[in-house]
Amino acid sequence: DAAGAAVWRPRGALVAHLAEHRKAVTSLAVARGGAFVVSASADGTAKVWGLRRLERDVTFASRLTYAAQPGQLTAVAAVEDDAGVVTASDAGSLHVWRVEVAAALRRGGGGNGDAFAGVTARRVLSPGLGAVLSLAAAGPNMLLYTTQRGGVHAWDLRTRGDAWRMAAPPAHGLLQHCVLRPDATLVAGGACSWLLTGSSAGCVALWDCRFQLPVASWRHPAHAAVDALALASAPRACLGLPTPANGAHTAPLVYVAAGENEVALWGA
């Protein structure tokens, strides 16, 4: 909340150094229930790390490894419930799988706090449109993803294929990153209301997911590739920005990393 944001400051204390992947870590996702974090890597594996006793654990070892997906993993997202995970690959596939948790952990007590029993594969989707570049969970059963040749897709995890698709102009480049509105509120038809993408050609684009239409786009002055997107969740006053009077609506703010050591705050 606003009061907490005004007094809390990060301490910068290293809690743990988790080093098991053999190649670059490409994406991270925290389980919806907060019991674990999943790391996806270019080495083709996704690893599950327990969070409940991280500060006092001296082993610093992953609890589970998922290695059944071909290619290098490009993205990971938490979906469905407290144990659902989806991973994406540069070979063009999406794998939905579950982290099986012991009964004691599901009840919130007993055991050592990291009683993970195994991994169960659930569903596989292969759109056939090149590498899957980014993922964003829009609610428990809806997943938005971008591909090398197919723009933006929405996959209802209860079905075997896409619910809808939005094509991206070739001039925008590859849609390598995406973020949703802060609460990812679902509307009729099972889609979030808006999506923001960042591309290899330096284009930041806003999409209306209700009508499946592009709304606006902006390009980095130097056409530098967008390296990362993140929603600015802090109150505007904490960011040094004016607060509108009378509770007027303000556009969401997004951090955009692009160019050489550059981070900019954009209004969507």
Q: Please give the domain boundaries of the chain with CATH numbers for all domains.
A: 12-126 (2.130.10.10), 129-268 (2.130.10.10)
Residue 10 DSSP symbol = -
Checking if the pLDDT of 253 tops 60, the result is yes
Q: Report how far residue 149's alpha carbon sits from residue 173's, in angstroms, rounded to the nearest whole number.
A: 10
SS3 116: strand
Mean pLDDT of all residues in 77-81 = 86
Whole-model pTM?
Answer: 0.83
pLDDT 10s digits, 93-113: 999 999 987 754 455 544 445
Provide the 3-class DSSP secondary structure of residue 11: coil
Q: What is the mean pLDDT of the chain?
A: 84
Q: How far is CA 115 from CA 70, 96, 107, 243, in A?
A: 28, 21, 12, 46
Gap between the Cα atoms of 226 and 263, Å rounded: 10
Contact present, 142 and 157 (Cβ < 8 Å)? yes
